[in-house]
Amino acid sequence: MRRAILLAVAAVASFAVLGGWQPATDRSPTEVAQPTTVDTIRRSPVDLVLPLDLYRLDAVESHLAGEALGQLEVACMRGLGFHDFARPALPAAPLVEASNRRYGVINEGVAREFGYHLPYSALSDSRMAAFDRWRESLTAREASALYGPAGDAGCARDASTTLRRGVNADDLAWFTELDFDSYETSRADPRVSSAMSAWSECMRRNGLAYESHDEAMSDPQWTLDSAAATRDEITTAAADARCKHTSGLLKTWISVETSLQTGLISRDPGRFEALARAKKLYLANVISLLR
């Protein structure tokens, strides 16, 4: 499961939208009362930035790319004779960067609102629901034209191809695997392993028995695509985030992986320069469509 989570985060970040825009499924406000979520995010004790983040899209850029894809898809569908085809507004970007969930929950305030669910605003969540309803309402002909019979063709693929013109997809696949390998290598580092044991001991002092943070996050009693986090999930997630700081796990892991990624970049500067140019070109394609 950990590999699937990391590859998904990396794929979204490394220019996201190699296919059509897909709404996330693990989002929702928690069932407890919600204070102003933006204020909570601003109180984050850590702004997690790693060297490879320079080469990926942030949440706002990914959202803009989704808007550009939508415009291309609508134009394509109308060109095929679906003259009234339209899409609802996309949900806003999540309130935390995907990279800030790399090591699971790291902000106790956010965890107390959302548990292990991704934090979205109430407006974004309502738009997400509207977008899901819109997709479910597509006729068979519309769905086939938009996504192809197998879900990997049609106007969505054509839109993605247009947005990625000049971008080498092989480089993006390489970056995704490299990003995952960086995570796994750093996780296996003895310094991180020792800090993880300290985190586990901290969790035990809170009455929670987990050997690793991903074991806590993927506990089968949590339903991360549900409409709300349970109180048990929120309690566990808050302790998880707090223990990452008090045990030194977060600080240690960031240090180890920063050093590792710096080395990766220095050993292959040409390919990373190409990735930086590809990101710049991709965003230029996005902006040109949104003007």
Residues 6+ apart with CB under 8 A from 284: none
CA angle 124/52/152 to nearest 5° reads 55
pLDDT confidence of residue 36:
36
Q: Of 114, 1, 18, 119, give the one whose Cα is nearest residue 65.
A: 18
pLDDT at 24 over 50: no
Two tokens, residue 108? 């106790």
Q: With 90 as the cut, is the pLDDT of residue 42 above it?
A: no
Per-residue pLDDT of 149-162, as tens digits, reads: 887 899 999 999 99
Q: Which two tokens mark 251?
A: 């600080």
Largest Cα span, the chain: 63
3-state secondary structure of 57: coil
Task: Indicate whether 55 pLDDT > 60.
Answer: yes
- What pLDDT, in 10s, does the model give residues 56-107? 988 889 889 999 999 999 999 999 999 999 998 776 665 566 668 899 999 9
- Residue 119 in contact with residue 41, Cβ under 8 Å? yes
Q: Which residues contact 291 (CB under 8 A, 6 or more apart)?
A: none
Paired strand residues for 118 = 27
Mean pLDDT of 248-272: 97
Whether 59 and 97 have beta carbons less than 8 Å apart is answered as: yes
Domain assignments of the chain as residue spans, ordered by start: 2-25+32-290
pLDDT at position 179: 95
The DSSP 8-state label assigned to residue 38 in this structure reads H
3-class SS at 216? helix
pLDDT at 123: 54
CA distances from 176 to 5, 167, 211 (A): 12, 15, 27
Q: What is the pTM of this model?
A: 0.77
Collapse the DSSP code of 27 into the 3-class scheme (helix H, G, I; strand E, B; otherwise coil) and give the result: strand
Give the side-chain half-sphere CA count within 13 A for 44.
18
203 neighbors 243 (Cβ within 8 angstroms): yes
Asked if 250 and 127 touch (Cβ cutoff 8 Å), the reply is: no
Quote the tokens at residue 23.
Answer: 């709404």
Torsion 162-153-98-126 (CA) sign = positive
Let me know: does 168 contact 278? Beta carbons within 8 Å. Answer: yes
Is 10 exposed, middle or buried, given 0-12, 13-18 or 19+ CB atoms closer than 10 A?
A: buried
